[in-house]
Amino acid sequence: MSAPLARRSRRVAGLADVPTRRVAWTHATRIVAARHPPIDLFERVSRDPAVWEALIAAEQLVNPRVRDEVGEIHLVPPEDRVSGPGASWVMASFTHRNPRGSRFSDGSYGVYYAARDLETAIRETAHHFARLARDSNDGPRYEDVRALVGTIASRFVDVASLPPARRAKILDPDDYAASRVFAAPLRDAGAGGIVYPSVRHAGGQCVAAFRPKAVGIPVPGPALKYHFDGTRVARWFDYARETWVPL
């Protein structure tokens, strides 16, 4: 059986018309703002996720900031939670919702986005950073960011295997209406997430994970800086090489 046929033969329970495929990436890259230091509570809590609410409540008695740092833990079912070194990088994606929403969320739940390679991750996040800066009427500015690098070995809904017309609507560069309608029932049905072609980098691939256990816990990767020129992110700085790279 050919690879495309093999992908189409796997379905998400309850959603028979949705193809899936296994994603196995050794370097899945996610980029986050460097100004937000990682919380460490999920590194320190019990290995039993079912008791986290009680432990977090107890910690709040001596550290009132814990509620803001941890976010909305109830959004992640105990069976989907991860802990240990680096776990907060993953958990924060689901306990701190983006009220603006994203391609595969209306803002009512969190999503962990990552790309197969660094360039794709940069182009995707630079686009969204520039849009946010323009919406805020920011002038030229710089933003330090950091890459997180992990592994992914899970089965995701495969947008690339959908019929062209449906795929085009889901991957619309600016309108997320169709992609959000597509994603919500998949998440509710228990899908781990979605793998899809990058809209900002030709040939790139991205994942949108709906559950912490669908992705591996990452480690800190390269430190970068974006330069927003007032209209777009025109270049990024690689601290390791001490050089600017044009976009």
In the DSSP assignment, the letter for residue 69 is H
82 within some domain? no
- Domain housing 178: 3-37+110-246
Domain count, the chain: 1
143 within some domain? yes
200 within some domain? yes
Q: What's the burial of 121, exposed, middle or buried (CB within 10 Å: 0-12/13-18/19+)?
A: buried
192 within some domain? yes
The residue type at 235: R
Check residues 130 and 44 and name the one with the higher pLDDT: 130
* pLDDT tens per residue, range 157-177: 999 999 999 999 999 999 999
pTM for the full predicted model = 0.83
Average pLDDT of the chain?
Answer: 85
* pLDDT tens per residue, range 20-69: 999 999 999 999 988 654 556 555 565 666 655 555 555 555 455 555 55
73 within some domain? no
24 within some domain? yes
23: closest CA among 147, 198, 117, 151? 151
67 within some domain? no
